[in-house]
Structure 1
Amino acid sequence: MFSTSLLLLFGAGLHLQPVAAWSGLALLLFLRLTKVHSLLLILDLTDRAALKHVRTLATKRAHMLSPDEYGNVSEDIWDKHLNAFIRKTLLPEFQRRKIDHFVAGDAKRHLGRLRTRINRIIDRYRPAEPSEEIADLMTGREFELYCQRILQEAEWHAALTPGSGDQGADIIAEKNGRRVVIQCKFYNGSVGNRAVQEAYAAAAFQDAPHAVVVTNSIFTKSAHQLAHKNTVLLMHHTELAELEGRLNRLERAAH
Structure 2
Amino acid sequence: MTDWRTALLRRNKRRKKSNGVEAIVGGLLALFFLGIVANHAGAVFGLLLVLIFMAVGAVILRSSLRKHALAALLEKAGAAARQHMEALLRRRAQLVRLDPYGKPQAEKWSKELDYFVQQHLKPALTAAEQVTLSRNREEVLKAIEVQVAAASATQNPFAKFSDHFTPSEFETFCAETLREHGWDAQVTQQSHDQGVDVVASKAGHRVVIQCKLYSSPVGNKAVQEAAAGRAHERADFGIVVSNNRYTTAAEQLAKTNRVLLLHYRDLSNLDAILDRHANVAS
| Structure richer in helix, relative to its length | 2
Structure showing greater radius of gyration is 2
TM-score computed with the length of structure 2 as normaliser: 0.43
In the superposition, the TM-score normalised over structure 1's length comes to: 0.47
Between the two structures, name the one with larger relative contact order (CA 8 Å, sep ≥ 6).
1
